[in-house]
Structure 1
Amino acid sequence: MIRTLTLALLVALQVLPARATDLAWQALKTDGAVAILRHARAPGTGDPPEFRLGECATQRNLSEEGRAQARRIGAAFRQEGVRVGAVLSSRWCRGLDTARLAFGEATPFPPLDSFFAAGDRAAQTAALRERIAAWNGPGALVLVTHQVNITALTEIFPSEGEVLVLRPRPDGSVTVVGRVTP
C-alpha cells in the first residue's frame, strides 16, 4: 500500500510540472495574453560603473550561451503556436538582444528598464501595470526586462530566460498563470 502511494506521488510530481507548463503555453495562445521574461544569460550582476544606455560595450551583455538561449525562447514560442502581437523591451542591450534574437523585433519601453542601480521602481512598475492592463491583443504581449522589474511586479525571482505568463486583475495587480523555461 505504501509502495503504491509512493509510486503514485512520484508520478504526480513528474506530471504536475508538465501540466503546469502546458497550461502556461495554452494561456499564451489566447488574445490578450501577456508574457514577461527576464533577459537571457548575461553573466554577472548589475552593470559596470561606466554603463551608458545605447552603448553596448559599456554594459553587461548576453554571453554566447545567452544568445543561444534567446533563440531557443523564440523557437519554443513558434513551436507552441503562440502568436506574438507585440514585443516590448528594456532599452538595455541584453534586453533588446534577447527580444530581437527570440522574436525578430523589439520596441524599447522605458518602464522595462532596470532600476537595480537607478530609476524609479514605483513609477516604472505602475506604468508597466497600466501597459499590461491595456493589452487586448491580437496575440500575446511579450515583455523583456530584468529580474528586479519582474520581482517588483510579481514577487517572483525569475531565472535568466524564464517566462512568466500573466493575467491582469481588475485592481491593477497581476496573477501569474504559469512559468515556462524554454
Structure 2
Amino acid sequence: MAALAATPFAVLTCPAFSQDRAAAGQDRQAIAALQSGGLALIRHAITVSGVGDPPNFRLGDCSTQRNLSPQGREQSRAIGRWFLERGLRPDLVRSSQWCRCLETASEAFRSMGRGPEIPIQPWAPLNSFFQGQGDRERQLQQAFQAARTLAQRPAASGFEVWVTHQVTVTGLTGQYVAMGEMLVVSYDGPNKPLKLLAAPIAF
C-alpha cells in the first residue's frame, strides 16, 4: 500500500523536478558560452500593446514610439539580476537606437553592483527594419561583421550584449524569440546564421 500511495506523489513532482534540472542545464550552457566569449543577443523587454511604432514615429523621441510597459521594466531588471547573480559582466552593451531597446539595456545593466559603469552604446545596425524601415541588408551585414570580429578575439577577452528587435534577431539567427528572451550565439562563417551556443533563456 505504501508503494502504491507514493506513486501519484512521484508522478506529480517529477515533472517540476525535471523542469528545474533542465533550467539549470540551460543556465550552465549559457554561462559557459558567455565566459568563452559568446555574444548575448536579447530582444527588447515587454512593451505596451501594439505592433511596430505609431505613424508619427521619430527616432530620438520616445513619445512617438512603442515603449516598455511596467512589466517590461521589471523584466529588464530581471535580466540584469541574472547576469549579476552569475558573476557575468559584459564589456559593452550595444543597443538599437529605439527607446524600448535603450531602456531595456539601461534598466538591465546600469546598476550592476561594484565596478565601473558598463558602457551602453546606441548602434544603428541593431535598429529595426520592420515594415520597410532602415536598410535590412546593410544593417545585417554590419552586425555579422561585428560578430565575426568578436569571434576572432581570445576567449578570455570578455563578451558583449546586443539589445535589439525581433526582425534583427531572426535576420541574424533564423530564430524567433519572445520579448525579453536571450540567445547566446557566435559567428559561424560567411553566409551562415549565427550559431546558437546554448538554449534560449527567458526572463
Q: TM-score range by the shorter chain?
A: 0.7 to 0.9
Aligned counterparts of 2:64 and 2:189: Cα–Cα separation in 1: 40
Aligned counterparts of 1:65 and 1:12: Cα–Cα separation in 2: 28
State the one-letter code of the partner of 1:73.
I
Aligned partner of 2:195 among 172, 175, 178: 175
- For residue 176 of structure 2, what is the aligned residue in structure 1? 157
Identity fraction in percent: 39
Give the superposition deviation at 1:177: 1.1
Give the superposition deviation at 1:140: 1.3
Equivalent residue pairs, number: 176
TM-score normalised by structure 1 residue count: 0.88
- For residue 60 of structure 2, what is the aligned residue in structure 1? 54
Aligned counterparts of 1:155 and 1:146: Cα–Cα separation in 2: 13
Give the superposition deviation at 1:14: 5.7
Cα deviation, 1:94-124, whole Å, max 9, x if unaligned, reads 0001011111142010010000021221111
Give the unaligned 5+ runs of structure 2.
1-6, 111-118
- For residue 74 of structure 1, what is the aligned residue in structure 2? 80
- For residue 142 of structure 2, what is the aligned residue in structure 1? 127
- For residue 35 of structure 1, what is the aligned residue in structure 2? 40
Cα deviation, 1:77-101, whole Å, max 9, x if unaligned, reads 0111112111100000000010111
Aligned counterparts of 2:44 and 2:57: Cα–Cα separation in 1: 17
Aligned counterparts of 2:86 and 2:178: Cα–Cα separation in 1: 21
Aligned counterparts of 1:68 and 1:173: Cα–Cα separation in 2: 31
Give the unaligned 5+ runs of structure 1.
none
Richer in strand (by share): 1
Equivalent residues of 2:81, 2:108 under 8 A apart: yes
RMSD: 2.0
